[in-house]
Amino acid sequence: MPDSLSLTPCPPVRGSLRPPGSKSITNRALVCAALAEGISTLSGALDSEDTQVMIDSLQRLGIGVERQKEGTRLVVSGCGGVIPAGEADLFVGNSGTTIRFLTALATLGRGNYRLDGVPRMHERPIADLLSALSQLGADVRSEAGTGCPPVIVHANGLPGGQATIRGDISSQFLSGLLMAAPLAKSNVELLVEGELVSKPYVTMTVGVMREFGVESHFSGLSRFVIAGQQRYRGCEYAIEPDASAASYFWGLAAVTGGEVTVEGLGESALQGDIAFAQCLEQMGCRIAYSGGGTTISAPTAQLRGIDVDMNAISDTAQTLAVVALFAEGPTTIRGVAHLRIKESDRLAAVATELGRTGIAATEIDDGLVIDGGSPRGAAIETYNDHRIAMSFAIAGLIAPGMRIHGPKCVAKSFPGF
């Protein structure tokens, strides 16, 4: 892919597609399969940078992962909760899910492990996860003492007990703890302090764990009790298409006046990001569910601005911000302050790039306010952030003269985009 990509406006987009597998589910299923007894087969998996660094790290820990069908089918030889490698140096790129999940997983081992990533990873906080693991008896620390990676784990199994963790930074911390907890030496109780962000991702984690034979009990997503010394069981697991990726195509239908069906994602999808379709419905689009798929049809009139809390579906906030460029009236996106610690400071980045198109965008404490209108073409910086590149590609198919710098970053989650 070139260093810069010019986009050409297109007529109304109509059609159907099945996006690649969910990144979030793929990496959760990989962790559960790696810890399981026996062999697991994951079908419909995502083959991307984030899943590749997860696979590479699991292999460095001595766990067998065989890639088949161009990486969309993964055969995992589970370790039965006993991590084979007594020492490993893991490089996770800029994959937040990988470093958070594997930091917790590594505490189950017997030995010394170091987890590191790209320079941006050294700015992404992980102190809350380290604190919770320490409360459960693990020996973990930030190598530089900054509360950010690199992370050092001196492992001798996870003792268990009670831990409190803040809910407003990243739900991935809680998901990592949940997946490791069943293999602790004693029962684990996790208490969430404050409001939990991205709640559907935690529900997703619990659902994936259940498919691999492990149960956790919770009330209100604020208190979780997990029995220790459980065992994951290997299984055949089908991964549904990525709902975050689907948002770009639904958004494209909305702004071009078209109609797009995403196959394999229906009302009962495991991923919370399916709710992005309802945001478009509020803006005037029509939703239809049939045959396990979801169709978005553009409104007959102009899109209208909305005021929406996207805390639960924050990975699609950038998509909605770009769709809002073409709406009548302002759109306010709330509840997404945690986007500042993603692959980029997404609130600042999106506001800056929206401004290049001639549409005013204002940062607020927990989100953005976007004035709708008629955006002009612009050269868009992506900050090496896949979601910014893919979101602004939507605008490039409407506004003439749009150019995306650094489009290669989409390989993180959607290489074929």
Active site residues: 315
Sheet holding 139-142, edge to edge: 87-91, 110-116, 151-156, 139-142
For 144, which DSSP code? T
Q: Decide if 297 contacts 259 (C-beta within 8 A).
A: yes
End-to-end, the C-alpha distance of the chain in Å comes to 11
What is the C-alpha separation between 111 and 155, in angstroms, rounded? Answer: 5
Q: Residues 11, 396, 390, 240: what is their CA dihedral angle, to the nearest 10 degrees? A: -10
In terms of Cα–Cα distance, which of 243, 255, 314, 315 is closest to 284? Answer: 255
Task: For the chain, give the number of residues.
Answer: 417
- Residue found by looking up tokens 């990975």 in the block: 315
Sheet holding 188-193, edge to edge: 161-166, 188-193, 223-226, 217-219
Dump the DSSP string for 170-198. Answer: -HHHHHHHHHHGGGSSS-EEEEEESPPSS
In terms of Cα–Cα distance, which of 258, 370, 266, 267 is closest to 320? Answer: 370
